[in-house]
Amino acid sequence: MKEIVFLVEGEAERYLLDAFLPRVLPEGIGFRVIPFQGKQDMEKRMALRIRGYINPQARFLILRDQDSHANCVALKNSLLERCIGTRREAHCLVRIACTELETFYLADLAAVSQALDIPGLERQQLKSKFRNPDSLGSPSIELRALTKNRYDKRSGSAQIGRYLALDNTRSASFRHFVIGIQRLCADLLAD
């Protein structure tokens, strides 16, 4: 079976992907989301999960928040190094959400507005800080304030994932995430 396995930090990412991926993946490509219990658990156990994965056609996308890590490239390389020795490193791709998953949401306030039923929220997109949300220090705090605490990591991620625009370019990390998914799909379809 052709599938992409997403290794993620926790449940919020799983809820997002469960809602988002059916709109993104072409027919014939399935997905599985493996959530960990935070980034330390992920870094400790991800290689074991990749190595032990039974499906030989699987491709792996590791999604992790940048959080306070200063250098995205160094963090990405560190995660890629953990894939070495799994015998599947050629089929692993790492994507970093700068700085948190909520950056993806702040880049598409129309989706947040629709998902959380907050009319007019998309007008906030015109403010300079929401035109490039990857540069925000604490996107989760910004999103909670913007939605007057209606955003919840799990249920909010599930709701917003249904509406995120695939072609959104306000967040470079979201754009790279979508391009990465498309790249893995093309690889699977070429096999």
Domain with 146 in it = 102-153
What are the pLDDT digits (tens) for 57-84? 999 999 999 887 768 888 999 999 999 9
Residues 23 and 49 in one domain: yes
As given in the structure block, the two tokens for residue 47 are 């290689």
Residues 44 and 68 in one domain: yes
Residues 139 and 85 in one domain: no
CATH number at residue 59: 3.40.50
Give the residue from 37, 46, 36, 40 showing the smallest Cα distance to 81: 46
Cα 13 to chain center, whole Å? 6
Assess if residue 93 is contained within a domain. Answer: yes
Average pLDDT, the chain: 94
Residues 28 and 116 in one domain: no
Q: What is the pLDDT along the chain (191 residues), one digit of tens a residue?
A: 999 999 999 999 999 999 999 999 999 999 999 999 999 999 999 999 999 999 999 999 999 998 877 688 889 999 999 999 999 999 999 999 988 999 999 999 999 999 999 999 999 999 998 988 998 889 999 999 999 999 999 999 999 999 999 999 999 999 999 999 999 999 999 98
Domains identified in the chain, total number = 2
Give pLDDT, residue 73: 87
As given in the structure block, the two tokens for residue 63 are 């999604």
Give pLDDT, residue 48: 96
As given in the structure block, the two tokens for residue 20 are 């988002």
Give pLDDT, residue 137: 86
